[in-house]
Amino acid sequence: MAYVILQPCMEEKSGECVDVCPVDCIEEGEDQFYIDPDICIDCGACVAVCPVDAIVEEYEMTPEEEPFLEKAEKFFASK
């Protein structure tokens, strides 16, 4: 399982998560940051520093939040 960045990032986009990620799996997109699910090691460092609690574990997502996982997968598939 990987972590997923949700809607609150779109308003904040502060980037502390990028600085603490030990495997550099977080990249900035046009409207928010994204976590590469293929690289994420599930350490949780990003969760601890997010000022708007925008990062959740994939299995904790609600059905309404699922599009954010799909959006992240598309972001990294296009690279």
Residue 13 banded pLDDT, cuts 50, 70, 90: very high
pLDDT at 72 over 90: yes
Please say whether the beta carbons of 22 and 3 come within 8 A: no
pLDDT at 1 over 70: no
pLDDT value, residue 42 = 93
* Domains along the chain with CATH numbers: 3-77 (3.30.70.20)
pTM of the model: 0.93
pLDDT at 34 over 70: yes
